[in-house]
Homo-oligomer: A and B are copies of this chain.
Amino acid sequence: MRNIKLVISYDGSKYKGFQRLKDNDNTIQGKIENVLSKMTDEKIEIMASGRTDMGVHAINQVANFKTNCSFSVEKIKKYLYEYLPEDIFVKEVIEVNERFHSRYNAVKKVYLYKINNKEYNPFMRKYELFIAKKLDIYEMKKASEILIGTHDFTSFASSKSKKKSYIRTITSIKIDESSGNINIFIKADGFLYNMVRIIVGCLIDVGLGKIDYNYLVEILESRDRKKASDTAPSKGLYLYNVYYE
């Protein structure tokens, strides 16, 4: 069987999230599978690097699927462009080794969180978090360093999350600021449920002076979700990149 890799960009605003739900295809996965199944006349299942929640976007989500169809990758790309809704775009279609698995082979992922710290922008209302009060970027950067490395991130996972291990390794947190647009890039070997949004929530509170460096250490060490700040809204979050060996 052929194994086809997809690189996908989507505006998550209108969807219930990436993962297909029973009897409901208002999901990114559902939309893509429907188009591919129609094209190939097979029951296509795509496997993504990970799910994204309701309202979360992607710049470079990676997925793959198995097929017996004989369409060229160019033809598949064209067909997807024609039949997918305008808010889902498959940027790349590549034939890969049959052992490639977009989830198991992913070694690192980068999420981006966009904050507008200048003036409200109606065109970006679904694509960034607007915060009127000036954030202290220096303090945010300093605080973000606490989280880098291998830690138990229980405090930064949704209480709904059920995992065997809450230990993850954050390789880097980059906070870029340019004329009031703040981009926070977080790179890790894996993320817990809501982890980026809870970390961003804490960094925002640091930037607003509500909590400080030492309190962030306390949050991390407490392994208690209730200690950490509120989950930042989904609209500012983008799955930015997925890395493979």
Binding stretch for chain B, among A63-71, A121-129, A223-231: A121-129
The oligomer's copy count stands at 2
Indicate if A23 sits at the interface (CB-CB under 8 A): no
Q: How far is the CA of A120 from the CA of B120 in the complex (A)?
A: 26
In contact, B11 and A122 (Cβ under 8 angstroms): yes
Mark interface residues in A118-160 (1 if CB within 8 Å of B CB, else 0): 0111110101000000000000000000000000000000000
Binding site for B on A (CB under 8 A): 9-11, 57, 81, 86-89, 91, 119-123, 125, 127
Q: Are B89 and A10 in contact (CB under 8 A)?
A: no
Indicate if the CB atoms of B91 and A57 lie closer than 8 Å: no
Question: Most chain-B Cβ atoms within 10 A of its Cβ — which of A57, A89, A121, A123?
Answer: A123
Q: In the assembled complex, which residues on chain B have CB atoms less than 8 Å from the CB atom of A125?
A: 11, 86-87
In the assembled complex, 18 residue pairs joining A and B whose CB atoms fall closer than 8 Å, in A order, are: A9-B121, A9-B122, A9-B123, A10-B122, A11-B122, A11-B123, A11-B125, A57-B123, A81-B120, A86-B122, A86-B125, A87-B122, A88-B122, A89-B120, A89-B121, A89-B122, A91-B119, A123-B127
Q: Which residues of B contact A57 (CB under 8 A)?
A: 123
- Chain B residues whose C-beta falls within 8 Å of the C-beta of A91 in the assembled complex: 119
User: How far does the alpha carbon of A220 sit from the alpha carbon of B244 in the complex, in Å?
Assistant: 56
